[in-house]
Amino acid sequence: MDQIIIHVDMDAFYASVEMRDNPALRGKPLIIGSKPTERGVVATCNYEARKYGIHSAMNIKEAYRLCPSGIYLHPNFEKYKAVSAQLNDIWNTYASASERISLDEAYLDVTDQAVNWEGARRIGRLIKQRVLDEVGLTCSVGVAYSKTAAKMASEEKKPDGYFEIRTPEDFVNLIIDRDVKVLYTVGEKTAEKLHYFGINTVRDIQLRGDDIVKLLGKHGRWLSQIAYGIDKRKVEPYRPEDAKSIGRELTFQADVTDFEFLKDVLFLLSLSVENRTRRVGLYGGGVSLKITYANMKGLTRSRLVPACDSAVTIYKESVRMLDRIEKRPVRLIGTSIYNLSGDSVRQLSFDDFLTEGNSGERQKLLDELQQKYHLDFAGNLEKIYHGETLHRTVEYMRKHL
């Protein structure tokens, strides 16, 4: 026996947390994301809403068209993070390695703890029961020989499901005549491309492995392997430094043409990036600016910088890039740092000396922002780092230009 892996996936996580905390929401279509009058997408929805055809990442206007009687709520990420911490405490009890995929999903290596498949089944059942008893939520658990198979197993009996896939043969027998979209990493666009060339099922992938590689390259080789149930990846505990970037972006409720206002928004976004970066003790070697124009055309610009984690540096570099792009109505703006490193010994930039030495420039920018928009950050700045508060603050600023 090489390994036994459990994949735990919470059922409609955000929506389930809200229904747990407000029982009056149960039994009604609940959509978490933006409000119908706002721009945005569905973050998740409960199973009652899914009956209307609503799904994650759907445009909120389309969701409202399908279900005008639904209840639409903004997500409360701080609450979801707190629940996620409880879940991880439970899951990690049973694993020698835990790979968290998101707030509500993780792979667990239980090979040593389980010893055999009967032990793995016992652990899977224990996890489900403890999550229900201690957190008040249901989850779906897949137990399998590989990560791909474990994820497939957790999807098989949702919601509140349990399923096992013990061998590659069991995996193949389960999915061989299903649509290619059943395979992990096959999204809508990849599926469309495969369907166009007559590759519709997992069996077709097996029969036309060479064609798949020609079509999709490295991704095609991966699909050719997992179509036979071959996946030898290990559970890799998440490390913050493995992230490719740390960023923050914001979609405006109405397109913005005032680029000086965009600079003010960039400072708030830079403060949020600084906060997240310092929480995990990382530094960035580059700054990126992301823009989406009103016509949905997007662009990104990047600049290498001396290793930094300061909002002032992030802000100044973002503004330099903003000054060089075409001035057209903007729908979305974001900034991020990349080339992340955990090194604490580094060469400081000039901006670092300003912000780390006496934080004078950072405070000056904050004071100017407060004065300009009649804001009060005293004791409230931490709240700005939370998504909903940031959105409300920016919309307030836009209306008080």
Distances (CA, A) of 43 to 14, 15, 63, 189: 8, 9, 11, 20
Cα–Cα distance measured from residue 141 to residue 299, given in angstroms and rounded to the nearest whole number: 40
Is 105 noted as a catalytic residue in this protein?
A: yes
* Residue from 18, 48, 99, 105 carrying the catalytic annotation: 105
φ, ψ at 359 (rounded to 5°): 50, 25
Instruction: Name, in order, each residue with C-beta under 8 angstroms of 22's C-beta and a sequence gap of 6 or more.
Output: none
Cα–Cα distance measured from residue 334 to residue 362, given in angstroms and rounded to the nearest whole number: 19
Virtual CA dihedral for 212, 216, 217, 223, nearest 10 degrees? -60
Q: Residue 328 gets which letter from DSSP?
A: -
Residue length of the chain: 401
Beta-ladder partners of 42: 33
Cα–Cα distance measured from residue 270 to residue 312, given in angstroms and rounded to the nearest whole number: 7
Active site positions, annotated? 105
